[in-house]
């Protein structure tokens, strides 16, 4: 039996078994999470969203400092929990939320670097699809290449919400790049720009594939923190708390029927 066959068998075994509660990375009890979870990368951003926007937020997870909260927004239960950085990290947390805690929707709210000259600092980018240079999908043992795409229902809601909030002119829908390499040569990014990629981040591809495998819904909304083509960028503090329009958009999507 070759390596790829072993990998496929292991993947199918792992993915066919429900994760017990508490999970290896989440200490919450059954029912502690709402059906929709907002997922920033930064635990401090999760705390900021919970304290600024949720009514009566309760800390339901703090394993490894990855904070998760559940409260209400306009009377409806919503949760927010950090994913950490990179595809392996969001792959773990999204899998455990989907499979153990009956979460139906995860909306990533993060930062991204613009790869398009017309997309500027603090603009919003909604990932219709997430291309990648990662090998994350290899775990599924597919014989071809899978397209990682967002949930149509969440995309439809995102379109409706951004128009209602007057953000449609600064919001772009399209293909984004989920990369394993935070530090990369600019010319590498430009190759993706030629293919119409709008922005680069590090998580959406794994989130979309995990949701697809488990029959759940996922969406990535990113606020532009830097412009790769010009070198303009926000500070770390501005990235942590300065993306209010993105956060409100995600919350409004979360409470839509």
The catalytic residue positions are: 226
From the list 119, 73, 124, 70, the residue with the least C-alpha distance to 97 is 70
Q: What is the DSSP letter of 122?
A: T
Residue 200's Cβ-count burial label (10 Å; 0-12, 13-18, 19+) is buried
Tell the residue number behind the tokens 């290896």, with chain if given.
24
Written as six digits, the tokens of 215 are 């029959």
Facing residues of 76 across strands?
Answer: 73
> Contact, 81 vs 39, CB < 8 A?
yes
Facing residues of 176 across strands?
Answer: 130
Q: How many C-beta atoms surround the C-beta of residue 196 within 10 A?
A: 11
Rounded CA separation 165/120 (Å): 19
Helix and strand tally (H, E) in the chain?
A: 8, 9
> Contact, 109 vs 38, CB < 8 A?
yes
């Amino acid at each position: 039996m070759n390596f790829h066959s072993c990998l496929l068998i292991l993947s199918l075994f792992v993915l066919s078994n429900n994760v017990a509660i508490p999970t290896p990375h989440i200490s919450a009890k059954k029912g502690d999470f709402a059906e929709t979870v907002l997922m920033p990368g930064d635990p401090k951003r999760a705390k900021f969203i919970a304290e600024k926007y949720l009514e009566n937020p309760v800390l339901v997870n703090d394993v490894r400092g990855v904070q998760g909260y559940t409260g209400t927004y306009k009377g409806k239960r919503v949760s927010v929990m950090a994913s950490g950085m990179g595809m392996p990290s969001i792959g773990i947390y999204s899998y455990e939320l989907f499979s153990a805690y009956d979460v139906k929707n995860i909306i990533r709210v993060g930062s991204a670097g613009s790869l398009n000259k017309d997309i500027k600092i603090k603009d919003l980018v909604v990932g219709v699809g997430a291309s990648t240079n990662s090998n994350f999908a290899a775990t599924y043992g597919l014989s071809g290449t899978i397209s990682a795409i967002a949930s149509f229902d969440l995309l439809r809601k995102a379109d409706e919400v951004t128009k209602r909030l007057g953000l449609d002119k600064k919001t772009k829908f399209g293909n984004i790049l989920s990369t394993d390499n935070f530090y990369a040569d600019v010319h590498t990014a430009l190759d993706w720009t030629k293919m119409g990629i709008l922005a680069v981040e590090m998580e959406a591809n794994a989130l979309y594939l995990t949701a697809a495998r488990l029959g759940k819904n996922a969406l990535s909304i990113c606020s532009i923190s830097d412009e790769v083509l010009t070198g303009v960028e926000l500070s770390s503090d501005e990235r942590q708390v300065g993306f209010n329009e993105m956060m409100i958009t995600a919350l409004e999507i979360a409470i839509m029927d």
